[in-house]
């Protein structure tokens, strides 16, 4: 499979920030990068390579909150996903809303549902959850119980440690 | 003096309650804030506890109007994940269903847009022409909405030989009507004056706010998933991507009208070229991995991301519907516009919900009066009426010539 030009360029410009590249097919590529380089890479993709931002997927995994920034190169017909891991228990990452205005709302959504704190976000208010939803409960985290009554924050922390312990065994 | 007008948050007719806080200075809008998800259904969370087959029915329920776009995007994602190649006949059937849906969705929008600016004839006509398309769906799948045609690895139902002439006849009858419609709307000076330069979206803003679909194409951004990421059988038929440059409400209307004609072209070719053969392939065990599926819904790009941990349920399903990125572009479109254009600009992106329930006028923090959707509609109609008076006796705009 031929390596795509955007991937080559990222590798040239950010050699020490890239941990892994996986080209699934000619149209799908996943690049794992270090957390602190995300903003620079996103800015480079948008300004120099003319990518179109699609969305951010965030999911709760063993290694922390996994964030996938999906970009589309429409002329080439390929989707590039920048993957990074934000370590728990206090996930924090630089916001990209100042580079791409369209990313503002998805960052607010991830802040609501998974509790990721986006630094330098212009307006990190509640967006998806109700105004009276208890603080510190994040519905898309693994320790969240869907039935009422929900686990409290302390119970959640205990539960999370139990899951992690079970998985280690 | 600044006044905040909340539009929303509930309407009994619509499935997606949203709230816009519009800040106005006199007649002009200076700022807008968007809030949503009062009826958040948690589909991404529910999908994690469903099998892939069940999740397909779940994603079909995301939207009642584009009820085949999400299943196609989800199937594309799972097929990308498990490297499934679907049979040729299934590809053509997917294309036909998706394009019929585009026609009915665009006609629905056109009717509502006509209603908002006080052209009730447009409303009635558009919905009358939409009706045969819904009946076609009933003939093909048994349902007018939520057709349940898609399946991972193919399609669930065939388009039978005896149905093909009926589809052909319906779209042949529809085509001259759309032409007539386009001429009638775009030659009307009142309509042009009412739609032109309203809610302008520049190309830079369209890219910056990540808009997709007709909204992006109306602003000159040349993207179309059907061409850029060919799925189903779009790479085997001839058609073109419709773009405009102005980015105003008129440009959006033109893009949608011309897209209906392109859809008719695509369906006609698909019906002629459709090869015989199986409808589906056997789905292997879903491996560990991840897949991305995109689809051009009537409103823009549908994006589905599936991550699998090797079980029969998706570990994570991320859905990005087109309206999610098209609505925030209001922040750049609304500024400087008048209150009477609010409804029109809201409607121009076809945001999967079309009306407003109530609007409370707050003056210096005190509730002064409550405006309902009726009041907003009347504001919009009044403006059209004024233009009608002004343009009495003028010749047509001749946009399509």
Q: Is there a contact between A57 and B316 if contact means CB atoms under 8 Å apart?
A: yes
Cβ–Cβ gap A129/B35 under 8 Å: no
* Chain A neighbors of B35, CB-CB under 8 A: 127
Q: Cβ distance A42 to B210 under 8 Å? A: no
Tell me, yes or no, whether A117 and A162 share the same domain.
Answer: no
Residue B44 near residue B62 (C-beta atoms within 8 A): no
The pLDDT tens digits for A46-87 are 988 889 999 999 998 888 899 999 999 988 889 999 999 999
8 Å CB contact of B38 and A130:
yes
Q: What is the pLDDT, as a whole number, of residue B368?
A: 46
Position A160 scores a pLDDT of 80
Structure tokens at B270: 């698909």
Those residues of chain B that have pLDDT short of 50 are 12-15, 353-368, 396-401
In angstroms, the separation between the Cα of residue A2 and the nearest Cα of chain B is 18
Nearest to B399 by CA among B259, B175, B244, B247: B244
CA dist B275 and B280 (Å) reads 14
Provide, as residue numbers in chain A, all residues whose Cβ is less than 8 Å from the Cβ of B291.
Answer: 28
Contact call for B315 and A59, based on CB within 8 A: yes
Chain CA centroid to CA A47, Å: 20
Distance CA B206, CA B219 (A): 7
Structure tokens at A129: 């959850």
- Return the pLDDT at B44: 86
pLDDT at A7: 84
The Cα B291–Cα A28 span in angstroms is 8
* A102 with B210: Cβ contact below 8 A: yes
Cross-chain CB nearest to B328 (options A79, A105, A146): A105
Helix (H) or strand (E) holding A55: strand A52-61
Q: pTM for this structure?
A: 0.88
Given B40, B208, B324, which is nearest A101 (Cβ)? B208
A96, two tokens: 């990209």
Same domain, A120 and A45: yes
Record the tokens describing residue A98, joined without a space.
Answer: 């100042």
- Which chain B residue's Cα is nearest to A53? B210
Same domain, A20 and A96: yes
**Dist. CA B57–CA A127, nearest whole Å:** 27
Sheet of A52-61: strand order equals A18-25, A28-33, A78-86, A64-73, A52-61
What pLDDT, on a 0 to 100 scale, did the predictor assign at position B392? 66
Is B303 within 8 Å of A28 when comparing Cβ atoms? no
Contacts of B300 in chain A (CB under 8 A): none
Q: Does A114 touch chain B (CB under 8 A)?
A: no
Whole domain around residue A138: which residue ranges? 134-169
Q: Nearest residue of A to residue B48 by CA position? A: A140
| A128–B contact, CB cutoff 8 A | yes
Contacts of B222 in chain A (CB under 8 A): 74
CB-based contact B201:B228 (threshold 8 Å): no
Note whether A35 and A100 are same-domain residues. yes
Cα–Cα dist B351/B34, whole Å: 13
Nearest-by-Cβ selection for A57 from B208, B305, B329: B305
Task: Indicate the residue of B228, B303, B307 with minimum beta-carbon distance to A55.
Answer: B303
The verdict on A55 and A106 lying in the same domain is yes
pLDDT in tens, B148-200: 899 999 999 999 999 999 999 999 999 999 998 888 877 888 888 888 888 88
pLDDT digits (tens, 9 = 90+) for A94-135: 999 999 988 988 999 899 889 999 999 998 888 888 888 888
CA distance A102 to chain B (A): 4
B177 to chain A nearest CA, in Å? 34
Nearest-CA residue of chain B relative to A103? B209
8 A C-beta contact, residue A142 and residue A160: yes
Query: CB B305 to CB A70 under 8 A?
Result: yes
Cβ–Cβ below 8 Å for B325 and A140: no
Q: Tell me, what's the pLDDT at B236?
A: 92
B388 φψ region: left (φ > 0), alpha (ψ -120 to 50), beta (else): alpha
Q: Are residues A101 and A77 in the same domain?
A: yes
Q: Are residues A158 and A113 in the same domain?
A: no
- Copy the structure tokens of residue B312: 């029969």
Kindly state whether residues A38 and A117 are assigned to the same domain: yes
Residue A137, C-beta contacts closer than 8 angstroms, at least 6 positions apart: A144, A150, A151, A153, A156
d(CA A35, CA B103) in angstroms, rounded, equals 44
A68 to chain B: nearest residue by CA?
B305
Residue B57 has a CB neighbour count (10 Å cut-off) of: 13
A-B contacts at Cβ under 8 angstroms: 79
From the candidates A45, A52, A67, A77, which should be mutated to test the interface with B, based on the most B CB atoms within 10 A? A52
**Alpha carbon distance B297, B281 (integer Å):** 25
**pLDDT computed for residue B371 by the predictor:** 57
- Closest partner residue to A57 (CB to CB) among B34, B229, B318 is B318
CA B76/CA B16 separation, integer angstroms:
26
Q: Which residues of A touch B306 (CB under 8 A)?
A: none
pLDDT of residue B13: 38
Q: What is the ipTM of this complex?
A: 0.90
d(CA B188, CA B388): 10
Contact A13, A44 (CB under 8 A): yes
Chain B hits for A75, Cβ within 8 Å = 228
Asked if B229 lies within 8 A of A57 by C-beta distance, the reply is: no
Q: Are residues A148 and A110 in the same domain?
A: no
Query: Is there a contact between A55 and B318 if contact means CB atoms under 8 Å apart?
Result: yes
User: Taking CA atoms, what residue in A is nearest to B35?
Assistant: A127
- Residues A18-52 have pLDDT tens digits of 888 888 888 899 999 999 999 999 999 998 888 99
**What is the full DSSP assignment across A135-150?**
TT--TTSTT--SSSSP
Domain-wise residue ranges, chain B:
2-39+329-390, 43-324
Asked if residue A105 and residue A70 are part of one domain, the reply reads yes
For A99, nearest residue in chain B (alpha carbons): B208
Tell me whether strands A92-94 and A52-61 are parallel, antiparallel or unpaired. Answer: unpaired
Distance of CA B39 to the CA centre of its chain: 20
Provide the CATH number for the domain formed by B43-324 in this structure.
1.10.645.10
Query: B93 — phi, psi (to 5°)?
Result: -65, -40
CA-based nearest residue to B328, from B197, B222, B196, B215:
B215
- How far is Cα A147 from Cα A129, in angstroms, rounded to an integer? 16
From CA A71, how far away is CA A51, in angstroms rounded?
Answer: 6
Q: How many residues in total does chain A contain?
A: 169
Per-residue confidence (pLDDT) for residue B363, from 0 to 100: 42
List B289's β-bridge partners, or say none.
B308
Token pair listed for B124? 């009635």
How far apart CA A41 and CA A51 sit, in angstroms, is: 11
One domain for residues A116 and A148? no
Q: Which residue has the tokens 């869907």?
A: A146
Q: A102, B44: Cβ pair inside 8 Å?
A: no
Testing the interface with A: which of B287, B325, B349 to mutate, by most A Cβ within 10 A? B325
Q: Which residue of B has its CA nearest to A71?
A: B210
**Residues whose CB is less than 8 angstroms from the CB of residue A120 and which lie 6 or more positions away in sequence, other chains included:** A94, A95, A98
Total domains present in chain A: 2
- Residue B350 has a pLDDT of 66
B376-to-A84, B31, B134, B249, B327 alpha-carbon distances in Å? 46, 18, 30, 18, 19
CATH at residue A42: 3.30.460.80
Is residue B352 a contact partner of residue B321, using CB atoms and an 8 Å limit?
A: yes
Residues of chain B with Cβ-Cβ distance to A129 below 8 Å are: 37, 40
One domain, residues A38 and A97:
yes
B119, B125, B130, B136 alpha-carbon torsion, rounded to 10°: 170
Q: Is A74 on the interface with B (CB under 8 A)?
A: yes
Compute the distance between CA of residue B310 and CA of residue B364 in angstroms, rounded to an integer: 58
Task: Confirm or reject contact between A23 and chain B (CB < 8 A).
Answer: no
Record: contact B303-A54, CB cut-off 8 A: yes
């Amino acid at each position: 499979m031929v390596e795509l030009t955007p991937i080559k360029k990222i590798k040239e410009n950010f050699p020490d920030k890239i941990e892994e590249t996986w080209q699934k097919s000619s149209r799908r590529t996943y690049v794992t990068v270090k957390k602190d380089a995300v903003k620079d890479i996103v800015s480079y993709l948008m300004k120099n390579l003319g990518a179109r931002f699609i969305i951010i997927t965030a999911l709760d995994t063993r290694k922390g909150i996994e964030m996938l920034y999906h970009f589309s190169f429409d002329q080439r017909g390929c989707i590039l996903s920048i993957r990074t891991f934000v370590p728990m228990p206090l996930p924090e990452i630089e916001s990209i809303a100042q580079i791409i205005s369209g990313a503002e709302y998805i960052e607010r959504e991830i802040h609501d549902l998974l509790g990721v704190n986006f630094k330098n976000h212009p307006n990190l208010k509640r967006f998806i959850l109700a105004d009276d939803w208890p603080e510190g409960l994040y519905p898309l985290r693994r320790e969240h119980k869907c039935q009422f009554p929900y686990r409290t924050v302390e119970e959640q922390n205990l539960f999370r440690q139990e899951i992690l312990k079970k998985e280690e065994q | 003096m600044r006044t905040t007008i909340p539009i929303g948050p509930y309407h009994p007719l619509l499935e997606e309650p949203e709230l816009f806080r519009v800040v106005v200075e006199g007649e002009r809008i200076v700022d807008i804030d968007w809030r949503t998800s009062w009826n958040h259904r948690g589909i991404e969370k529910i999908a994690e506890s469903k099998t892939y087959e069940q999740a397909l029915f779940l994603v079909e329920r995301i939207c009642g109007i584009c009820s085949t776009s999400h299943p196609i995007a989800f199937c594309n994602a799972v097929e990308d994940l498990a490297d499934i190649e679907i049979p040729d006949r299934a590809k053509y059937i997917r294309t036909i269903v998706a394009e019929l849906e585009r026609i009915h969705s665009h006609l629905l929008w056109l009717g509502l847009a006509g209603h908002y600016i006080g052209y009730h004839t447009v409303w009635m006509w558009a919905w009358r022409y939409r009706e045969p398309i819904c009946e076609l769906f009933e003939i093909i799948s048994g349902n007018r909405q939520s057709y349940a045609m898609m399946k991972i690895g193919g399609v669930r139902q065939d388009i039978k030989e005896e149905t093909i002439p009926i589809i052909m006849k319906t779209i042949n009858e529809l085509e001259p009507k759309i032409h007539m419609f386009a001429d009638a709307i775009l030659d009307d000076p009142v309509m042009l004056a009412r739609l032109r330069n309203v809610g302008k979206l520049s190309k830079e803003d369209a890219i910056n706010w990540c808009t997709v679909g007709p909204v992006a194409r109306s602003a000159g951004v040349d993207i179309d998933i059907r061409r850029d990421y060919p799925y189903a059988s779009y790479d085997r038929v001839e058609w073109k991507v419709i773009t405009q440059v102005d980015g105003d409400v008129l440009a959006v209307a033109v893009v949608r009208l011309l897209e209906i004609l392109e859809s008719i072209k695509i369906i006609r070719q698909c019906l002629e070229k459709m090869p015989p053969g199986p409808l589906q392939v056997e789905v292997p065990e879903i491996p560990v991995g991840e897949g991305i599926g995109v689809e051009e819904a009537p409103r823009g790009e549908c994006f589905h991301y599936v991550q699998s941990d090797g079980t029969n349920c998706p570990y994570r399903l991320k859905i990005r519907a087109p309206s999610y990125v098209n609505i925030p572009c209001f922040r750049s479109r609304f500024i400087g516009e008048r209150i009477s254009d609010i409804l029109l600009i809201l409607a121009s992106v076809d945001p999967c919900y079309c009306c407003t329930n109530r609007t409370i006028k707050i003056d210096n923090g005190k509730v002064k009066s409550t405006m309902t959707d009726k009041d907003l509609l009347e504001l919009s109609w009044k403006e059209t009426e004024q233009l009608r008076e002004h343009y009495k006796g003028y010749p047509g705009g001749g946009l399509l010539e």
